[in-house]
Chain A
C-alpha cells in the first residue's frame, strides 16, 4: 500500500469516527456536522474530477449543487402536496429516484454549459462558468413557484428503502456510502485511459492534440461527470437541511468548493474529504467564537497556498505520483 493510500484511508476513517463517537457520547449534533462534511466532500470530489484531474477551474459548480438540491426539493414538495409535475408525472420522496433526477439534470445542464465554456480557457473559463451559475441563481430567485428568494422547505426527509433516514446516523451512513463510491469512481477514472487523456489535457494540451486526441471532448465528458457527482451531493445537502434556497446556487458556494479542494489537496483522492472536514470544523468551532471566522480561514488558505501547495494530503503524503 502506498503512503497516499494509507493517508486517504486514515482521513476517511477519521470522518467515519466522528458520528460513531458522537453516538456513543450522546452528542448527536456532531452527527449532523459529520454528515455536512461528508456531503460537502462528495460535492468537492465531483469538482475535483474537473479541477484536479482536468485543470478546469470551474467557478460555477454551485449551479450543479443547487440543481441537485432543487431536484430533491421540487420532487419532495410535489409528493408532499400530491400535485403532479408537468406531463402528469408524480413527485416522489424516494431518494434513489431523486438522486437519478439530480444526476441527470446536473449532467444535462453541465453538457450545455460545458459545451460553450470549454471553448475558452484560463480566466475566461472561470468567468464564463461563473456567469452561467449566476444566471441560474437569479432564475431561482425570481421563480416564485418554488419559493423564489425564500427557498423551499422539505417537510419530511426523503426516504431510502430499508433505511430510516430520519435517524441522523442512518442518514450519515447513506451519505458516507455515496462519498466512498465517489472516491472509488474518482480513483478508477484517474487510472483509466480517459483519466490519462484528461490529465494530459491539463499538463499539456498541445501534446494531447499532437498524439491525435482532441482535448475538447475529453474535457467536456469530465465536466459532465464532475457536475453529476456535485449534483448528487446537492440532493443530499437539501435533505440534510430539509431546505433548499438559491444560496446553494450562489457563487459563494462555488468558491467554497474550490477552497475545500485547495485546503485538502488539488487532484488528490482524499483531498476533498480532508478539505471538507477542515472547513466544516473551522466554520463550527471558530464560528462559535467569532463571526469573523472566515478571516482565519483566509489566513489558513494563504498558508496552504504559500507553504503547502499540495494541501493537507500533499503535506502528509508528499508529491503525487503518476506511475
Chain B
C-alpha cells in the first residue's frame, strides 16, 4: 500500500458539551477519491476546518505529505499543497475570474511583496491562470467579475483556483451543492479525471456523485466514524443504512 497523502489520527474536537469530532481517524491515498458523508450536523465541516487549519483539534494529529501539520495555519498548509474549496463559494467578488486564479498563481510563485510590476501585463501570471480556466471550461468568462458569475461557474472557478495552486491533495466541501443535474454530471466527469492529479477528500450530499466517484467512503455520524469502506461495503452496511440512508435494517 502506498503511503497516504493525508492521515488523520484520533482527532477530537469539542464545543462545550458537543463532541463535534469524536476520535476520527482516516486517510487519503494517492490517486483515490475518498468521500466523506453523513447527515447534517455530523461534523463534516468541522473536520474540514481542522484539516485546512482554520480550527485546531483538541487532540489527535494531522499528517500531510509525511509532515505533522498540526501547528501550521491555513496559509502554510495551503502552500504545502492542500487545495480547498468551500461549501459556499469563497472568492474575491470584485476581481474577474481570471484575477481570482491569478492570485493563486501568484501565491504559488512565492512572494506577494512585489510592489511595482502590473499583474495584468505579467504573462507568468496571466497565462497559467488562463490555462486553468480553460481546463474547467471557464475561459469564455475570464473577464467577468466573480460576483457576476452563476452559482455553478463559481464552483468551477474555485476548482480552477485549487488547480492553479498545484495542490497535492484536494479538499472539496460539497462541490455539487446547488448545481443543476447537468452541472453535477459535468463536474462528476471532471473530478473523475482530477484524481489522477491529486487525491480528493470529497464531502458531498449528492449520493449519485458519491457512489459514482468514490473509491472509499467514510460515514460520519455525531462526529464519529461509523463505517469506512468501498462503495459496496457502505451500501450493505446495516449501521449506515439505519443512521444515514434512512432505512430500517
- Interface residues, chain A, with chain B CB atoms under 8 Å away: 188-189, 191-197, 199-200, 203-204, 206-214, 218, 221, 320, 322-323
Q: Which of A194, A199, A203, A212 contacts B113 (CB 8 A)?
A: A194
From known contacts A188-B115, A199-B92, infer whether A211 and B107 are also in contact, taking CB-CB under 8 Å.
yes
Q: Is B196 an interface residue (CB 8 A)?
A: no
Complex Cα distance A308/B8, Å? 52
8 residue pairs bridging A and B, Cβ less than 8 Å apart: A193-B106, A193-B117, A197-B103, A206-B90, A212-B76, A213-B75, A322-B94, A322-B99
Complex Cα distance A214/B91, Å? 16
Chain A contacts of B100 at CB under 8 A? Answer: 207
Q: Is B211 an interface residue (CB 8 A)?
A: no
Interface centre among B54, B90, B92 (most CB of A within 10 A): B92
From known contacts A209-B74, A210-B52, A211-B104, infer whether A192 and B92 are also in contact, taking CB-CB under 8 Å.
no
Q: Which of B79, B103, B117, B165 contacts A192 (CB 8 A)?
A: B117
Chain A contacts of B244 at CB under 8 A? Answer: none
From known contacts A213-B75, A323-B120, infer whether A196 and B106 are also in contact, taking CB-CB under 8 Å.
yes
Smallest Cβ distance from B121 to chain A, in angstroms?
Answer: 8
Q: Is B140 an interface residue (CB 8 A)?
A: no
Q: Which 10 A-B pairs have the closest CB atoms?
A: A212-B78, A191-B118, A212-B79, A197-B112, A203-B92, A211-B107, A209-B74, A214-B75, A193-B114, A212-B107
From known contacts A200-B92, A322-B96, infer whether A214 and B119 are also in contact, taking CB-CB under 8 Å.
no
Contact indicator A199/B95 (Cβ below 8 Å): yes
Q: Which of B73, B75, B79, B103 contacts A196 (CB 8 A)?
A: B103
Complex Cα distance A314/B107, Å? 31
A196-B112, A197-B106, A211-B165 known; 4 other A-B pairs, CB under 8 Å? A193-B114, A193-B119, A213-B75, A320-B94
Chain B contacts of A207 at CB under 8 A? Answer: 90-92, 100, 103
Q: Which of B93, B114, B143 contacts A203 (CB 8 A)?
A: B93
Q: Is B102 an interface residue (CB 8 A)?
A: yes
Complex Cα distance A237/B188, Å? 63
Chain B contacts of A188 at CB under 8 A? Answer: 115-116, 118
Contact indicator B165/A212 (Cβ below 8 Å): yes
Chain B contacts of A200 at CB under 8 A? Answer: 92, 95, 103
Chain B contacts of A204 at CB under 8 A? Answer: 90-93
Contact indicator A192/B114 (Cβ below 8 Å): yes
